[in-house]
């Protein structure tokens, strides 16, 4: 069983095993809508998944998903769930439930022998939760706005999304390391992997759309306990100066000090906050429970000046949309995460980690050997259990506009194909260059250029 706290969509590392894509394709076999309602379906069961998102098999599994979604598209895709379905939950009765059933049936989230009633029964509740799990949403069984939007992304767009991500997955199909960490940016999800199995999953908070978390590969080398926060120049410009213009006591209240180039501390009154004068100085926040990095900073070499860290803003981890940072990655349940990172350092047993955090001691610990780290951008894949997963393309790197896809989208399929291929070629070249990943020839006719990574 995978250890650790996961996002609500797969608590405890558990996912629900859906009908595999091959079984789904076979069950569809020329049946009409009415026939599919009464067709048999393999029993759905709970599965405690320890399989990582990225594995040597993920690319080939995703190829299989592409074949299945090609069949779905050829058969007309799935129906659009009406707006009237928003807010539906267990026990509700509404005509739109019938359409909801049809939608969930096509992708195997709903058992084919679950009936045709317009009542939101336990079958539909379970199917909605399965759908939410596959799309990285809060698995509450309620057809909320995010769930409805994800359901109404057209089948051909989902197919193109799988094709685009296959390129990325092939570049990540090599040896990532016996122990490594993967951060999937659009899913705001972190996996620690050891020996091909997930050790723990953690919710993340990643960069806002205008302050994106970069794609990269590196190695985690150091843990900083109870760190100071040295405010990045971008945040001084975008955040601190405007806040000081509105509230002259902001720095004092947040225990942020100002230093000149010689290390001498200045007073806030020494600076003209109506200009860019503050950009000349260094700003440092004291360590402590209110520090912006919380109790821990995880350090790795990279050209973007980003890092992973704890946070005092724990409530953000419970949201479906967790894109609130300035590019760094905030980690839920950071104590377990750093405990795993420091497992190879005998000087840092778990009780010492707890004591240092509790006492507020400013200490650094070496991660030995360094642990490979990958910030990736994967929005569609099939895992070893045959479950097809999607995440919202929050940074629009797929070029398909799924972040703003409406229920009544009527884009010509051929136009979408051409545009997505053109956009994805440019985006994926950038992707590989940023991540420093080796190239492979792919089915769409283009490949990642081999690049030197930033790992050290």
Active-site positions?
309, 328
Question: Can you name the residues that pair with 46 across neighbouring β-strands?
Answer: 16
Looking at residue 9, the DSSP 8-state letter turns out to be G
Rounded (to 5) percent helix, strand, coil in the chain: 35, 20, 45
Looking at residue 238, the DSSP 8-state letter turns out to be I
Q: Write the Ramachandran bin of 195: left for phi over 0, alpha for psi from -120 to 50, otherwise beta.
A: left
Asked if 350 and 208 touch (Cβ cutoff 8 Å), the reply is no
Among 323, 254, 246, residue whose Cα is nearest residue 283:
254
**3-state DSSP call for residue 276?**
coil
Return the H-helix or E-strand segment holding 403.
Answer: none
Kind of pairing between the strands at 179-184 and 363-376 = parallel
Q: Which two tokens stand for residue 53?
A: 């998102």
Bond prior to 69 in cis (omega within 30° of 0) = no
Among 393, 402, 389, residue whose Cα is nearest residue 133:
389
Q: Which two tokens stand for residue 200?
A: 């723990």
Return the H-helix or E-strand segment holding 299.
Answer: strand 296-300
Q: Which two tokens stand for residue 411?
A: 């884009």
Distance CA 2, CA 151 (A): 29
Cα radius of gyration rounded to whole Å, the chain: 24
Distance CA 333, CA 413 (A): 43
Q: Residue 382 phi/psi, 5° resolution?
A: -115, 135
Looking at residue 57, the DSSP 8-state letter turns out to be T
């Amino acid at each position: 069983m995978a250890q650790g706290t996961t996002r609500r969509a797969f608590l405890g590392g558990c996912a629900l095993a859906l009908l595999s894509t091959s079984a789904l394709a076979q069950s569809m076999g020329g049946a009409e809508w009415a026939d599919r309602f009464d067709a048999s379906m393999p029993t759905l069961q709970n599965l405690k998944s320890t399989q990582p998102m990225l594995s040597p098999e993920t690319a080939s599994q995703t190829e299989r998903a592409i074949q299945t979604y090609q069949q779905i598209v050829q058969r007309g895709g799935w129906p659009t769930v009406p707006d009237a379905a928003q807010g539906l939950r267990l026990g509700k009765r509404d005509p739109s439930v019938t359409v909801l059933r049809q939608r969930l049936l096509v992708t195997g989230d709903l058992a084919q022998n679950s009936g045709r009633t317009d009542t939101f029964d336990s079958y539909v509740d379970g199917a909605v939760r399965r759908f939410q799990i596959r799309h990285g949403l809060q698995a509450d069984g309620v057809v909320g706005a995010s769930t409805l939007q994800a359901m109404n992304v057209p089948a051909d767009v989902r197919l193109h999304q799988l094709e685009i991500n296959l390129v990325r997955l092939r570049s990540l199909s090599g040896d990532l390391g016996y122990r490594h960490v993967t951060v999937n940016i659009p899913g705001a999800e972190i996996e620690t992997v050891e020996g091909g199995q997930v050790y723990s999953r953690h919710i993340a908070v990643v960069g806002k759309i205008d302050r994106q978390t970069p794609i990269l590969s590196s190695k985690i080398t150091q843990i900083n306990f109870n760190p100071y926060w040295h405010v990045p120049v971008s945040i001084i410009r975008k955040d601190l100066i405007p806040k000081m213009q509105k509230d002259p006591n902001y720095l004092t209240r947040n225990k942020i000090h100002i230093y000149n180039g010689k290390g001498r501390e200045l007073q806030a009154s020494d600076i003209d906050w109506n200009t860019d004068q503050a950009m000349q100085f260094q700003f440092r926040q004291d360590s402590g429970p209110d520090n912006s990095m919380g109790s821990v900073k995880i350090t790795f070499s990279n050209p973007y000046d980003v890092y992973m860290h704890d946070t005092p803003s724990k409530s953000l981890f419970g949201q479906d949309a967790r894109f609130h940072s300035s590019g760094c990655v905030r980690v839920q349940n950071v104590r377990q995460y750093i405990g795993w990172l420091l497992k190879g350092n005998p000087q840092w047993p778990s009780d010492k980690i707890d004591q240092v955090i509790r006492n507020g001691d400013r200490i650094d610990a070496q991660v030995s050997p360094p642990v490979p780290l990958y910030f990736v951008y994967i929005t569609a894949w099939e895992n070893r259990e045959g479950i097809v997963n999607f995440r919202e393309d929050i940074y629009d790197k797929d070029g398909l506009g799924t972040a703003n896809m409406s229920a009544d989208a009527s884009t010509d399929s051929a136009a979408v194909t051409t545009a997505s291929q053109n956009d994805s070629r440019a985006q994926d070249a950038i992707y590989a260059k940023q991540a420093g990943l080796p190239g492979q020839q792919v089915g769409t006719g283009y490949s990642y250029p081999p690049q030197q990574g930033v790992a050290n």
